[in-house]
Amino acid sequence: MKHDPVDVLIIGAGASGAAVAWSLADTKMHILCLDQGGWMNPSEYPSTGRDWEAKFYGDWSTSPNIRGRPEDYPVNDDNSPIKVVNFNGVGGSTVMYTAHWPRLHPSDFKVKTLDGVADDWPIDYDALTPFFEENDRIMGVSGLSGDPLSPLTHPPMPPQPLGLSGPLIGKAMNKLGWHWWPSDTTVATMDYEGRARCINLGHCTPACAQGAKASTDITYWPHAIRAGVELKTHCRVREILTNKDGMASGVVYYDKDGVEQFQPAEVVIIACNGVGTPRLLLNSVSGRFPNGLANSSGLVGKNLMFHPYAQIYGFVKEPTDSNRAPPTCLWSKEFYDTDLSRGFVRGYGIQFGRGAGPVFEAVASEQKGILPWGADHHRVFRKLNGHRLAVSAICEDLPEEHNRVTLDPVLKDSHGIPAPKIDYTISENSRKMMEHGLARGREILETAGATDICINDPIPWGGWHLLGTARMGTDPARSVVNEWGRSHDVKNLFIVDGSVFVTSGGVNPTSTIQAIALYVADQMKQRLANLFD
């Protein structure tokens, strides 16, 4: 079935799709967004039930392969030590994230110039500054301005309390003379724009029943829809079609009943994340684009960057916040910048964990062999439960073409669309960085008095950050989109998600992803008269 054409078609209603939809709404163009998932129902979120922890291992797993909701697509990540995690639905992975909210540093945009590795971005931090600020206001950020080792931010809400865990970490970091700071988060610490303040449900990652954690279904989307943007749910796009002029003509998708539809569009914007976007482009083959759409560089799907997480945790005598607080509250940038004496280039941020709930503690500790079977189980569990502190080094992954997303020749989703296949190895540089992070983490934990120290190296289900697979650049031979997000090959096709990252930095990327989406939308609005030139 063919529909009336729209001016702008956005694929994906997550972090970047919502932001670009909201920003373009003031053009009064006819904007339609298609998402493969549906609207969320907070009354069904895990923290509303007594089995809240058990759900994390099944219906509310961060892994689409474990979760297996109808909205999910499978991912073949057998050939990767880091497994892809995401969420599919209105809000995308902002429904299922920790709300930790650092942004890339100015130096992250100039890694070739400063450190001689990878490539510089074609844009700099200053170009994104107004969009970081606007995004922080709309998402609703809490934090403390003035961090001496981070870019200056102006969070509209005060920081989360330090609680019980924060001072234990702070004292240890002060003894070591190392930087720490309360993290910016998208957890509302006061009533904000229709969102209720955080009441410390603790189980932030698999969705916030209180609505205190910002996800785009409750931040951007209500504004965008009021401004006239149309959002159709349970519509999974199979491919983007092109016309005889080599322009995108629209998309083929399956509607909620599984019926194939064609939606024509003047402009197509992809916002499907660093795995979903290359999957869609590689599946959009034609005579003119035999290697996939927008892929004359051959770089679609290549240069996948994950952020390997090196996590170390231990148990202190004092009680920690356990599951009675948002899981992250502090960061450190002590080892963020390059110091070649450490044996690697670039660096990592640290995010600290406040603790865990009883089921998670029991399961994790039994697997690590520190919680025994038998009579001593009870004594040991009482020593561990409610006493965990965690340190995670979020390591900057540099782009390498052999780390890539391709189409799996066998595995398909429920509509018969080829699933993405991940081939990824942790580089020698990242490995050294992880070892450094674990060693420093051990020092922090031991200074805090922790024992029974365990590591996750890497966190296996830690592929939250999906970056680099349709990189931005000025050279069409070395990049997929230009410096304002437009495909070099298809002049009415734009990409606004983490695929466009040139390098990954050492911080969680969602703030920067959304700032880029707002920046691209702004560039489009400034160029409406000659958008396709």
**Contacts to other proteins by CB under 8 A:** 45, 47-54, 57-58, 105-107, 109-110, 113-114, 124-125, 146, 148-151, 160-164, 166-167, 170-171, 173-174, 179-182, 198-203, 209-210, 321, 323-325, 336-337, 358-359, 362-363, 366-367, 373-375, 377-378, 382, 385
Nearer to other proteins, 135 or 323 (CB): 323
In angstroms, give the least distance from the CB of 201 to other proteins: 4
What counts of helices (H) and strands (E) characterise the chain?
11, 16
Select 291 or 367, whichever has its Cβ closest to other proteins. 367
* Secondary structure of 276-292 in HEC code, one letter for each residue: HHHHHHHCCCCCCCCCC
CB of 33 to other proteins, least distance (A): 29
Return the DSSP state at 151.
Answer: -
Give the nearest distance from C-beta 278 to other proteins in angstroms.
28
Q: What is the DSSP letter of 420?
A: E
* Geometric angle at alpha carbon 379, from 374 and 384, rounded to 5°: 110
The single-letter code of the amino acid at 238 is R
Which CB atom, from 341 or from 530, has the smaller least distance to other proteins? 341
**β-strands 248-254, 236-242: how paired?**
antiparallel
| DSSP for 389-408, written as a single string | EEEEEEEPPPP-TTSEEEEE
Nearer to other proteins, 83 or 279 (CB): 83
CB 9 → other proteins: shortest distance, Å? 35
In the complex with other proteins, the residue whose CB is nearer, 134 or 334, is 334
Rounded distance, CA 218 to CA 232, Å?
Answer: 16
Structure tokens at 442: 């051990």
Using the minimum distance from each CB to other proteins, give the nearer residue, 148 or 287. Answer: 148
Closest distance to other proteins from the beta carbon of 378 (Å): 5
- Compare residues 58 and 258 and give the one whose CB is closer to other proteins: 58
Sign of CA dihedral 497, 349, 151, 330: positive
Q: Do 30 and 109 contact (CB within 8 A), yes or no?
A: no
CB of 524 to other proteins, least distance (A): 25
* Minimum distance from residue 48 beta carbon to other proteins (Å): 5
Alpha-carbon Rg of the chain, whole angstroms?
22
3 state SS of 2? strand
